Amino acid sequence: MVDRYNGYNKMPCSIQYCYAHLLRTVKDLEKDFPENTEIESFVEALALQLTNAISLRMLDITDKQFKRQAAKIKNEILNIVNRHARHPAIQKIQDIFREKADRLYHWADDRNVPADNNLAERELCPLVIARKISFGSQSDVGAKTREILMTVLHTLKKRSPDVTIAFKSALDKLAEDGDIDPYKTVFSFDSS
């Protein structure tokens, strides 16, 4: 689940583009072209279906109902993006859906795949805010150090009941014996 950043293109896995990011891009068309009725119609239609796709996963419905509604939403999206459009801004959005179809509909095939990455975005938000108010890293080495440290801490948060105890324990062990494997030390969860 990613935004459309090109760095993800090398990942050896299936990619699902985030509909929340696409929704913002679509809605921005109205800001850029406020008096254009073709844009207004396109945005209204596509924004509704993208919103429907994002919220579908949260509905209390059976898997069969989910599949049926997902197929309907996907078909509506395909109809909208395959319609003839005269405005180049609409065509640009349509091209994303036409050229990257293999990255846009995993959510419709598997209920466990969200149509948006809002959870990941919310988890990153405190880190991004901290980076911005502290003026970020002042060097490439500092940025790399922050990247590694935050990856370790966020992974520990998902795997350990108490991040502080787990991380402190790992650092204590590394201080005692610098030859031990840092990965095994950090992720052993032995808080003794």
Q: Phi and psi at residue 87, in whole multiples of 5°?
A: -75, 130
- The confidence score (pLDDT) of residue 7 equals 77
What is the average pLDDT value for the chain, to the nearest integer?
86
Of the candidates 150, 95, 100, which has an alpha carbon nearest to the alpha carbon of residue 123? 150
pLDDT at 3 over 50: yes
Q: Positive or negative CA dihedral for 46, 120, 92, 106? A: negative
Q: Does the pLDDT value for residue 62 go beyond 70?
A: yes
CA distance to 41, 50, 84, 95, per residue, from 34 (Å): 11, 21, 20, 22
Average pLDDT over residues 23-28: 95
What is the reported pLDDT for 107?
Answer: 94
Cα dist from 138 to 14, 39, 66, 149, whole Å: 34, 42, 48, 16
9-25: average pLDDT:
88
Tell me what percent of the chain is helix, strand and coil, each rounded to the nearest 5: 70, 0, 30
Q: pTM of the predicted model, to two decimals? A: 0.66
Q: What is the mean pLDDT of residues 153-178?
A: 84
Find the angle CA(64)-CA(65)-CA(68) to the nearest 5 degrees: 90
Residue 84: per-residue pLDDT: 97
Question: 177 by DSSP, 3-state: which?
Answer: coil
Question: Which residue would you say has higher pLDDT here, 3 or 24?
Answer: 24
